[in-house]
């Protein structure tokens, strides 16, 4: 009997969990496919080890170790996360986050070399990823533009830790004297097959920096051997030989990175990042944008219309403990002037009185929740019927909503928002329409100072500089950027809500104007922040606190600023030093005079690097 084709064998190996949509690409080591989770619809990339290599136990071990190592790096915004690993039908595969984008090698072929600020930003972003790996004593060993993915928000994502190994640790998979990597970017000690540490990766990063700025590599000989010998023995050229307009300080940074001896280089990523940021570089998302093939966009669009399989409760099997997110439209973006991983960089604050009313755009998120969400689905319909808001709302708030179905994890209590349609938008700006959403969970409260402190202490993320942060742990965290909020959400296994999700959680399904009803809040409105559990009679129909007032809340929905919006920001900042990427904020705040903003349909937009004492956030996660 003839053996099944690889595509069919892969579908069989994936079982009832994933559906292959198309082939994304690959090389001699592996092939990558776009797939869709059959139960929740999330898109993932599946990397399959080449069949001829699957017969080699040592190579299989390396391939599987790639998944384990990358998974150990958590959900760093500059590293593509691994969700699952498996085997079947003689195939070995890794399930990872799908991120539409373009690798930097392809980008450079298409666009040519980068301007200095763009190149420095790319290097700083990759250094952030290496910093995470360095903390776990992991060396990448194959840094090159082809392993650096540019996503649609301008974020760099580091790929392929497949030949990395733990620093100073011999596991028998990399033999003494064996050099692995791409010759153009390999450090001298790596070519010699010696033990490598983070300084080897920094050498490779210096080669990439040189290439980004000049359009060529420092050593680009005709043969592999000649290239390797040049890395070992030939002094690197100066950037100024190719572009005399580049600053001498920039050349000094690159020369230090690609010094022959490890002790002559930067000794760790923190040292490099300190120098880059001190010279004005940022670790935020760049203004570079990838070219995504039209064919791939069509496949992504068509996948959204495919029917989902509904597994039986007793046989459903989760993908993994991590949520799988379709990144084709859900794009966390870093700010231009962010506080990142413990390093403070300049930022701006936007007073509540200066917030600009925007128009909006919407986005779609698809994800998988935890196992407990599956168990709760059986009671969701009944709970929705019992807890749904009444058609008419009393003019005054007289009682709190009934408790909603919920679960509690290590990051707080989340409330179930049942699937179905609701009235979205406001008649005043002609945005009213019916929107149908799948079930999801929403944080009962805004993220508090105490909870955000746990995140900062666990990750080294820079805490906000507000008087309330230490003095009032039960107040909502504020004065944080969109990127700060996204980083917390990733750490907690959650995400920021879309505008539609936020609005449904705030107003329910009866078209009310405010979480508590249709009457505005005209008296005794607080004029300063309150604890995250406050005003119990003004909770949303699902039981969420402070979805009107306390702090404005970031959402994941993009916003295209109008000329008036940009003019307002320029006037406020007396310049143009703010991000071109804007996001919706919702809910109003207790800032004096802001109570007119409590309408749940009210829309405002801010640059992702905006910070204010009156801006915070809450998270959501999807249910099956």
Mean pLDDT of the chain: 78
Q: Which of 85-99, 290-304, 472-486 has the highest mean pLDDT?
A: 472-486
Which tokens sit at 523? 């008296």
Strand order in the sheet with 552-559: 604-607, 582-586, 552-559, 615-616
Asked whether the predicted pLDDT for residue 350 surpasses 60, the reply is no
For the chain, domains (ranges, CATH) are 6-100 (3.30.200.20), 101-278 (1.10.510.10), 353-365+440-622 (3.90.1580.10)
Report the run of H or E that residue 415 belongs to, with start and end: strand 412-417
Predicted pLDDT of residue 4: 52
Range of lowest pLDDT (21-30, 215-224, 474-483, 527-536):
21-30
Contact assessment for residue 553 and residue 521, using Cβ atoms and an 8 Å cutoff: no
Contact assessment for residue 236 and residue 211, using Cβ atoms and an 8 Å cutoff: no
Mean pLDDT along residues 10-14: 81
Closest CA to 291 of 104, 122, 164: 104
* Residue 507: C-alpha distances to residues 20, 100, 230, 390, 527 (Å): 38, 33, 66, 12, 23
Instruction: Tell me the C-alpha distance between 72 and 65, whole Å.
Output: 10
Instruction: Tell me the C-alpha distance between 416 and 496, whole Å.
Output: 15
Asked whether the predicted pLDDT for residue 611 surpasses 50, the reply is yes
Predicted pLDDT of residue 585: 93
Query: Is 519 assigned a catalytic role?
Result: no
| pLDDT: which is higher, 356 or 469 | 469
Mean pLDDT along residues 59-86: 78
Range of lowest pLDDT (321-325, 434-438, 460-464, 493-497):
321-325
Mean pLDDT along residues 138-144: 89
397 band by pLDDT with thresholds 50, 70 and 90: low
Asked whether the predicted pLDDT for residue 284 surpasses 50, the reply is yes
- Summarised one tens digit per residue, pLDDT across range 549-602 is 999 999 988 887 888 888 877 877 666 678 888 899 999 999 887 787 899 998
Helices (H) and strands (E) in the chain, counts: 17, 22
Q: Where are the alpha helices (DSSP H) in 136-247?
A: 188-191, 198-214, 224-233, 239-242
Mean pLDDT along residues 55-62: 80
Asked whether the predicted pLDDT for residue 348 surpasses 50, the reply is no
517 band by pLDDT with thresholds 50, 70 and 90: very high
Asked whether the predicted pLDDT for residue 533 surpasses 70, the reply is yes
| Catalytic position from the list 84, 103, 142, 160 | 142
What predicted TM-score, i.e. pTM, was given to this entire model?
Answer: 0.52
Asked whether the predicted pLDDT for residue 66 surpasses 60, the reply is yes
Predicted pLDDT of residue 430: 63
Range of lowest pLDDT (54-68, 165-179, 552-566):
165-179
| pLDDT: which is higher, 143 or 345 | 143
Mean pLDDT along residues 152-161: 86
Mean pLDDT along residues 519-544: 91
């Amino acid at each position: 009997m003839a053996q099944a084709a690889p595509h069919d064998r892969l579908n069989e190996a994936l079982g009832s969990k994933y559906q292959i949509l198309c082939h994304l690409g690959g090389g001699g080591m592996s092939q990558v496919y776009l797939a869709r989770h059959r139960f929740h619809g999330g898109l993932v990339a599946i990397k399959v080890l080449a069949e001829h290599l699957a017969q080699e136990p040592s190579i299989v071990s390396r391939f599987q170790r790639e998944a384990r190592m990358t998974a150990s790096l958590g959900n760093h915004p500059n590293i593509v996360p691994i969700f699952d690993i498996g085997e079947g039908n003689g195939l070995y595969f890794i399930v990872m986050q799908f991120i539409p984008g373009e690798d930097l090698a392809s980008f450079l072929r298409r666009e040519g070399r980068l301007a200095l600020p763009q190149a420095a930003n790319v290097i700083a972003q990759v250094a952030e990823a290496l910093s995470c790996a360095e903390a776990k004593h992991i060396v990448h060993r194959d840094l090159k533009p082809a392993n650096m993915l540019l996503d649609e928000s301008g974020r760099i994502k580091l790929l392929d830790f497949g030949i990395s190994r733990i620093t100073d640790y011999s596991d028998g998979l990399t033999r003494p004297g064996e050099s692995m990597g791409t010759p153009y970017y390999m450090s001298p000690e790596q070519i010699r097959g010696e033990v490598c540490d983070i300084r080897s990766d920094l050498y490779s990063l210096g080669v990439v920096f040189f290439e980004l700025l000049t359009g060529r590599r420092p050593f680009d000989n005709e043969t592999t051997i000649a290239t390797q010998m040049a890395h070992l023995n030939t002094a690197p050229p100066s950037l100024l030989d190719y572009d005399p307009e580049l600053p001498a300080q920039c050349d000094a940074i690159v020369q230090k990175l690609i010094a022959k001896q490890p002790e002559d280089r930067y000794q760790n990523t923190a040292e490099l990042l300190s120098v880059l940021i001190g010279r004005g570089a940022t670790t935020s998302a760049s203004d570079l944008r990838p070219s995504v093939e039209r064919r791939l966009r069509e496949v992504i669009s068509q996948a959204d219309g495919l029917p989902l399989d509904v597994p039986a409760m007793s046989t459903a099997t989760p993908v993994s403990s991590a949520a799988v997110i379709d990144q084709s439209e859900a794009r966390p973006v870093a700010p231009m002037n962010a506080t990142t991983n413990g390093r403070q960089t300049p930022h701006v604050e936007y007073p509540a009185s200066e917030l600009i009313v925007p128009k909006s755009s919407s986005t779609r998120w698809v994800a998988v929740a935890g196992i407990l969400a599956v168990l709760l689905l059986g009671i969701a319909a009944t709970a929705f019927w019992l807890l749904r808001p009444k058609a008419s709302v009393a003019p005054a708030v007289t009682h709190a909503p009934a408790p909603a179905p919920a679960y509690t994890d290590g990051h707080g209590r989340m409330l179930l928002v049942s699937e179905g349609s609701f009235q979205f938008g406001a008649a005043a700006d002609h945005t009213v329409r019916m929107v149908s959403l799948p079930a999801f969970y929403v944080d009962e409260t805004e993220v508090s100072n105490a909870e955000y402190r746990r995140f900062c202490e666990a990750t080294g993320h820079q805490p906000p500089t507000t008087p309330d942060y230490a003095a009032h742990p039960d107040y909502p965290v504020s004065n944080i950027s969109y990127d700060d909020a996204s980083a917390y959400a990733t750490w907690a296994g959650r995400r920021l809500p879309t505008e539609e999700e936020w609005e449904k959680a705030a107003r329910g399904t009866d078209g009310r104007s405010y979480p508590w009803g249709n009457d505005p809040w005209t008296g005794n409105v607080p004029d300063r922040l309150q604890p995250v559990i406050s005003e119990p009679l003004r909770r949303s129909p699902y039981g969420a606190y402070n979805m009107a007032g306390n702090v404005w809340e970031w959402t994941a929905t993009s916003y295209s600023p109008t000329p008036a919006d940009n003019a307002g920001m320029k006037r406020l900042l007396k310049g143009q030093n703010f991000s071109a990427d804007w996001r919706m904020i919702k809910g109003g705040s207790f800032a004096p005079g802001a109570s007119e903003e409590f309408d749940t349909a009210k829309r405002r937009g801010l640059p992702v690097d905006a910070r204010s004492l009156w801006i915070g956030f809450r998270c959501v996660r999807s249910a099956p």
